[in-house]
Amino acid sequence: MSGLLADRVAVVTGAARGIGGATAELLAEHGARVVCVDLDGDGLARTVGSLGGRGVAVAADLTAPAAPAEVVARAVDEYGRLDIVVNNAGYTWDGIFHKMTDEQLAAMLDIHLTAPFRLLRAAAPVLREAAKRDAAEGREVFRKVVNVTSIAGTMGNVGQANYAAAKAALTGLTRTLAKEWGPLRINVNAVAFGFVQTRLTADATEAGTFEHGDHRIPLGIPGAVREQAAARIPLGRPATPAEAAGGIFLLCSPWSNFVHGQVLTVAGGQAEGMS
Ligand SMILES: NC(=O)c1ccc[n+]([C@@H]2O[C@H](COP(=O)([O-])OP(=O)(O)OC[C@H]3O[C@@H](n4cnc5c(N)ncnc54)[C@H](O)[C@@H]3O)[C@@H](O)[C@H]2O)c1
């Protein structure tokens, strides 16, 4: 298949729905083959079914220490290479700070920092060896890492001390890896989203729960807070998942080859946290 990303192979985590699902679709539409990872096997099957044969599913809990190596092995077994890693999987477990438990903090660090850290460490040999081969043979080929963060991480957000801290930590990882992997032409960037319409930000009466370990964590935002949040967006409304995927796609494309170690805010102009 031709396309901007023809021959590229991407891993997208949290691809069963929302921003990750839309990102997998956009990457595949432009020629990439996509290894889609999520806890939710049914959602993954729906996403992979929409990729026109250009994707495979890996149903895994990314907080399990062995999962990242399985994901990288699947990309190499299936397609023989790996060029793009999008660390997008995540959820929120909100609470006001003075009542927040150690478990709430640990859960957010686990999924938003440790899981991306481990996936990139597992991908490192594949990305780095290919980069060194290209350099030895005189080719300049750019590979891409995109870490999904939030304006909660860059600006703070009431009720999300755990999530904001974990997302901020991910930007530290992003900027450090950009320095280490830049010489290998592996672009490492982050996207900080504002309010995107997904299950995570649906009305709390409809969003349902996220099940992890022994926990059933309520998702969503109270209706009044959603309305206030939307009113603060200069573009006048939240983003669709497809619009959010556009920001990630830019950082996966050759048009961003000299964008490196950056946090791209995709928030419709919003310049503060959601609440
Ligand atoms: N929606 C927003 O407004 C918004 C704003 C800023 C940042 N984000 C970030 O964007 C990313 C995607 O969120 P979304 O809004 O598309 O949410 P979503 O709930 O629609 O999708 C997230 C997906 O991640 C998966 N996931 C969560 N934990 C996992 C785990 N341990 N292993 C494997 N898969 C796991 C879920 O099953 C789900 O399918 C998240 O990192 C989120 O923090 C979202």
Q: Can you tell me the distance from the alpha carbon of 31 to that of 26, in angstroms, rounded to the nearest whole number?
A: 9
58 pocket-lining for ligand 1 (C-beta < 6 Å): no
Cα of 98 from ligand 1 centre, angstroms:
25
- pLDDT value for 164: 98
Structure tokens at 46: 């729906």
pLDDT in tens, 106-148: 999 999 999 999 999 999 999 999 999 999 999 999 999 999 9
**pLDDT band with cut points at 50, 70 and 90 for residue 22:** very high
215-228 residues labelled b (16+ CB within 10 A) or e (exposed): eeeebbbeeebbee
* DSSP 8-state symbol, 221: B
43 pocket-lining for ligand 1 (C-beta < 6 Å): yes
Query: Is ligand 1 within 6 A of the CB of residue 78?
Result: no
According to DSSP, the residues that pair with 85 across neighbouring strands are: 11, 145
Q: Is the CB of 27 under 6 A from ligand 1?
A: no
Bridge partner list, 144? 84, 187
Mean pLDDT of 149-175: 97
Q: Is the pLDDT of residue 13 over 70?
A: yes
Which amino acid is located at 202 in the chain? Answer: A
Atom 20 (ligand 1): residue with closest C-alpha?
A: 18
**Residue 263, helix vs strand vs coil:** strand
Amino acid at the residue 97: F
Mean pLDDT across the stretch 168-187? 98
- Dihedral (CA of 164, 189, 112, 246) sign: positive
- The pLDDT tens digits of the residues spanning 55-81 come to 999 999 999 999 999 999 999 999 999
pLDDT at 274: 54
Q: How far is the CA of 133 from the centre of ligand 1 (A)?
A: 34
Are the C-beta atoms of 187 and 147 separated by less than 8 Å? no
CB 158 within 8 A of CB 273: yes
The CATH class of the 9-198+240-266 domain is alpha beta
Q: Tell me how far apart the terminal alpha carbons of the chain are, to the nearest angstrom.
A: 44
Annotation says 91 is catalytic:
no
The conformation of residue 238, written as its DSSP 8-state character, comes to P
User: For residue 275, what pLDDT is reported?
Assistant: 52
What whole-number distance in Å separates Cα of residue 16 and Cα of residue 198? 12
Average pLDDT over the chain, rounded to an integer: 96
Residues 6+ positions from 195 with CB-CB distance below 8 Å: 201, 229, 230, 233, 238, 239, 267, 268, 270, 274
Pick from 91, 160, 167, 219 the residue to mutate for probing ligand 1's pocket: most ligand atoms within 8 Å of its CB: 91
Q: How far apart are CA 275 and CA 181, in angstroms?
A: 36
Q: Which two tokens stand for residue 162?
A: 């755990």
* Tokens (6 digits) for 218: 């309520």
> How many angstroms is it from 136 CA to the middle of ligand 1?
38
Q: Are 71 and 11 in contact (CB under 8 A)?
A: yes
Catalytic residue, chosen from 79, 117, 142, 163, is 163
Ligand 1 centroid, distance to 139 Cα (angstroms): 36
CA distance 63 to 83: 22
The mean per-residue pLDDT over the stretch 235-247 comes to: 97
Please give the distance, rounded to the nearest whole angstrom, from the Cα atom of residue 93 to the centre of ligand 1. 12
Point out the ligand 1 atom lying closest to the alpha carbon of residue 62.
32
Nearest CA to ligand 1 atom 23: 14
Q: How far is the CA of 64 from the centre of ligand 1 (A)?
A: 17
* pLDDT given at position 1: 72
Q: Is the CB of 34 under 6 A from ligand 1?
A: no
pLDDT recorded at residue 273: 60
pLDDT at residue 70, as a whole number: 98
> 128 Cβ partners below 8 Å, 6+ apart?
181, 184, 186
Task: Say yes or no: CB of residue 40 within 6 Å of ligand 1.
Answer: yes
Looking at residue 2, its pLDDT comes to 77
Position in ligand 1 atom list of the atom nearest CA 163:
43
Would you say residue 242 has pLDDT above 80? yes
> CA–CA separation, 185 vs 145, rounded Å?
11
The torsion of the CA quartet 64, 66, 69, 71, rounded to 10 degrees, works out to -50
Residues 6+ apart with CB under 8 A from 231: none
What proportion of the chain, given as a percentage, has pLDDT over 90? 93
CB of 61 within 6 A of ligand 1: the answer is: yes
